[in-house]
Amino acid sequence: MNQKLSMSDLGRMDTSDFKQSDKIPIVIILDNVRSLHNVGSVFRTADAFRIEALYLCGITGTPPHKELHKTALGATDTVNWKYYDATIDAINELKSNGYHIYCIEQTQQSTMLHQTNLNGKLAFVFGNEVAGVSDDIIQMAEGCIEIPQFGTKHSFNVAVTVGMILWETFRQSK
């Protein structure tokens, strides 16, 4: 019989060990994400993949906030994050530090996720739940990545999208 692992079997790091551990050179940029539940979920996913940082921009909520903490489950204590009034400032900083910037958006020239080579220092921009990534930010990126979809809807929840992008990036790195 297959049995679930206990918490001690999982061998999780404590907060101090996590803070000192090597991170995957990926920065997630949230461009005006309005839902605090989505932001909290992204913190939790960023912790799970041990990415370098999360950049919260514009109207995106920041810790501490009760609604954000509800889904982050403590990841706001482990994941490095910064706030920027303007997403353009976050992107300019990352570009000057050698990051490749990709927007996760459906555009005329977007590349399907499974056809994108995801190596090096990467920053992924995820947009507002209604408007998507800002047009001016799309113009600053090296490209746009699209996740194939086959149903009647034309978008995924932003927190789900972050998980898919990080999983594919992790998969390619192995």
How confident is the model over 88-103, as a mean pLDDT?
98
Report the range out of 3-7, 68-72, 83-87 with the highest average pLDDT: 83-87
Quote the DSSP letter at residue 132: B
Whether the ω angle into residue 63 lies within 30 degrees of 0, i.e. cis, is no
Name the residue among 14, 22, 163, 7 with its Cα closest to residue 78: 14
Q: Per-residue pLDDT tens for 108-122?
A: 999 999 999 999 999
Give the pTM.
Answer: 0.95
Name residues whose C-beta falls within 8 Å of residue 80's C-beta, 6 or more positions apart in sequence: 23, 52, 53, 54
**98 or 1, which is more confident:** 98
Taking 80 as the threshold, does the pLDDT of residue 174 lie above it? no
Where do the H-state alpha helices sit in the chain?
Answer: 7-10, 15-20, 36-49, 66-72, 87-96, 135-140, 158-173
Domains along the chain with CATH numbers: 22-146+155-173 (3.40.1280.10)
Output the pLDDT for position 7.
80
| pLDDT tens per residue, range 22-69 | 999 999 999 999 999 999 999 999 999 999 999 999 999 999 999 989
Reading the block at residue 164, the tokens are: 């898919």
Q: CA 129 to CA 116: how far, in whole Å?
A: 23
Beta bridge partners, 123, equal: 27, 101
User: What is the per-residue pLDDT for 79?
Assistant: 97
What is the reported pLDDT for 173?
85
Structure confidence by residue, pLDDT tens digits, 124-152 = 999 999 999 999 999 999 999 999 999 99
Q: pLDDT at position 147, please?
A: 96
